[in-house]
Amino acid sequence: MSHSKPASTAEPKDAVVLTPDPLDFTALINCSRDPKAGAISAFMGTTRDSFQGREVLSLEYEAYLPMADKMLREIMAEARHCWAVHHVTIGHKLGHCPVGEVSVVIVVSAAHRHESLAAVEYLINRLKDCVPIWKKEILGDGTGQWKENEPSRELRSDISPQVPSED
Amino acid sequence: MSHSKPASTAEPKDAVVLTPDPLDFTALINCSRDPKAGAISAFMGTTRDSFQGREVLSLEYEAYLPMADKMLREIMAEARHCWAVHHVTIGHKLGHCPVGEVSVVIVVSAAHRHESLAAVEYLINRLKDCVPIWKKEILGDGTGQWKENEPSRELRSDISPQVPSED
């Protein structure tokens, strides 16, 4: 229920969900609700149907899980250092993500709106920059290409079983 | 269902919901989903349990409805002028809003994340600045006080039936 009440005022918490199941953004937003929060900001990344003029059918995500979890918690700590936020929740889908489906959810609650909005923007930018999650675009012409950020490239050279194939 | 797919690619649309019923943020977010959107940003304002050290029990909202609807559509047009956004949805609850309940929801979808995040922050700031919606804080000590923004003050002097009493 999207209008359920926060049950209690909890200590500020960080939550990370990395899952092959569809992301339930309602549940992730409700995780960050709190009577002490006047503001909840959320970002949801969804699979877009095109990239640079080419049709996209779906995305595939793979992660180096121990490092992805560690890095997500590090960037949450960075956000807490910069802004007075309450609860922070990050969810990322792994595996197949067809057009329109939510692949990433970032939710931050805070007493005031500016802090929650600024922290959400910081977190999605940092996630894209430094969390080892690989993305493959499956294109309408039958081809596909893996995209990776800098730490993913570094990890690829170290952790061969985690390197996705190009097929 | 928070992970339902967008049914189709529609023309960019603005939607305004002003209602005494609880706001269903899941439905409002789903309104902005689209296969052409890679990003959906949302802001939810919730009733906080304190203000300047005083306990808050609930908020009461009243609006001058024709003008509130008109102003919301104007600030949506402003946001579209500044950023390439897809769908824009704004919901505001009217009447009683207890601690933890969502009073305002702003959702913007766009191809890219920066545009959707920037437009959401712009819209909540403009809503607070210029949309004629009154807020009364019901405090734990049994008192209450109406708060209003500049256009609300101007309208109060013009539209006496819309002026909430101080009781």
pTM of this prediction?
0.87
Query: So what's the pLDDT on residue A153?
Result: 62
Residue B51: inside a domain: yes
| B132 CB burial (10 A radius; 0-12, 13-18, 19+) | buried
A142: left (phi over 0), alpha (psi -120 to 50) or beta: left
Question: Could you tell me what percent of chain A has a pLDDT over 90?
Answer: 72
Query: So what's the pLDDT on residue B140?
Result: 86
Query: So what's the pLDDT on residue B142?
Result: 79
Residue B167: inside a domain: no
Residue B164: inside a domain: no
**Count of domains for chain B:** 1
Domain CATH for A27: 3.90.1170.40
CA distance B49 to chain A (A): 5
Query: So what's the pLDDT on residue A161?
Result: 39
pLDDT tens figures, A9-30: 568 999 999 999 999 999 999 9
Query: So what's the pLDDT on residue B146?
Result: 79
For residue A5, pLDDT beyond 60 = no
CA distance A153 to chain B (A): 23
pLDDT tens string, chain B, 167 residues long: the values are 455 555 555 689 999 999 999 999 999 999 999 999 999 999 999 999 998 889 999 999 999 999 999 999 999 999 999 999 999 999 999 999 999 999 999 999 999 999 999 999 999 999 999 999 989 989 988 788 777 666 666 665 554 433 333 33
Residue A28: inside a domain: yes
Residue B70: inside a domain: yes
Query: So what's the pLDDT on residue A158?
Result: 55
pLDDT tens figures, A71-119: 999 999 999 999 999 999 999 999 999 999 999 999 999 999 999 999 9
Query: So what's the pLDDT on residue B163?
Result: 36
User: Cβ A33–B100 below 8 Å, yes or no?
Assistant: yes
| Best mutation target, A1, A3, A102, to test chain B (most B CBs within 10 A) | A3
Query: So what's the pLDDT on residue B93?
Result: 98
Query: So what's the pLDDT on residue A155?
Result: 62
How far CA A18 is from CA of A22, A140, B11, B90, B114, in Å, comes to 10, 27, 33, 30, 24
Residue A165: inside a domain: no
d(CA B142, CA B34): 46
Planar angle of CA A130, A126, A109, nearest 5 degrees: 140
b (16+ CB within 10 A) / e for A29-57: bbbbbbbbbbbbbbbbbbbbbeeeeeebe
Query: So what's the pLDDT on residue A145?
Result: 77
Query: So what's the pLDDT on residue A166?
Result: 35
Mean residue pLDDT across chain A: 87
The terminus-to-terminus CA distance of chain B in angstroms comes to 41
Residue A58: inside a domain: yes
B22 closest CB neighbour out of A3, A9, A29 = A3
Which ipTM value was assigned to this complex? 0.87
CA distance B81 to chain A (A): 21
Query: So what's the pLDDT on residue B86?
Result: 97
Chain A with chain B: Cβ pairs closer than 8 A: 126
A8 touches chain B (CB under 8 A): no
Contacts of B39 in chain A (CB under 8 A): 43-46
Q: What is the domain extent for residue A82?
A: 14-156
